[in-house]
Amino acid sequence: MPRARSSETVPPRLPGSTGSALGFFVGIGATLVAFPLGAGDWPPIALVLLGVVVLAVGVSTTLLGALAAAAQCWGLYSGFVLHQFGELHLDGPERAALALLVGLALAASAAGLAVRLHAGKTESAEPARARLTLVTASGR
């Protein structure tokens, strides 16, 4: 059974600007969803949802896009979950949230890069494997 080529299964990374925009809009959605789930009384709910956004965006975009998404999600968390009217503070909980989101962005970006590098190695090995199969099958 023929295997799908790696380049068909692993899409290319999104440009940083696209990742930033995606992180911002999905982050807004996650923040809005967090409040009916109880983020007004227990803010870590929103932080978990925003962390998922950062992970998803970080895997699919460049490092710059991942860090921008992390910064924007932190701004949403600090400005609208912990405080009102978009007021940003850098106190203890906000610093911890920023460190967490930046760490997630770095880890997700590295994981996305590793997957794409591995897919590139697999893709370059495909022609050699096909030639070996062809030579073996033909008896030459």
State the pLDDT at residue 130.
47
pLDDT tens digit sequence for 89-121: 999 899 999 999 999 999 999 999 998 888 776
Number of neighbours of residue 100 by Cβ within 10 angstroms: 17
What are the structure tokens assigned to 100, written together? 């967490």
Q: How far is CA 75 from the centre of its chain?
A: 17
Nearest by Cα to 3 from 140, 133, 138: 133
Distance (Å, rounded) from C-alpha 129 to C-alpha 124?
9
Question: Which secondary structure element, helix H or strand E, spans residue 102, and what is its range?
Answer: helix 92-138
SS3 state of residue 87: coil
Given this model, what pLDDT does residue 125 score? 44
- Radius of gyration from C-alpha coordinates of the chain: 21
Average pLDDT over all residues of the chain: 85
- List, for the chain, all residue ranges whose pLDDT scores fall below the cut of 50: 1, 6-7, 123-126, 128, 130-132, 134
* Confidence (pLDDT) at 63: 94
Predicted pLDDT of residue 121: 64
Specify the pTM: 0.78
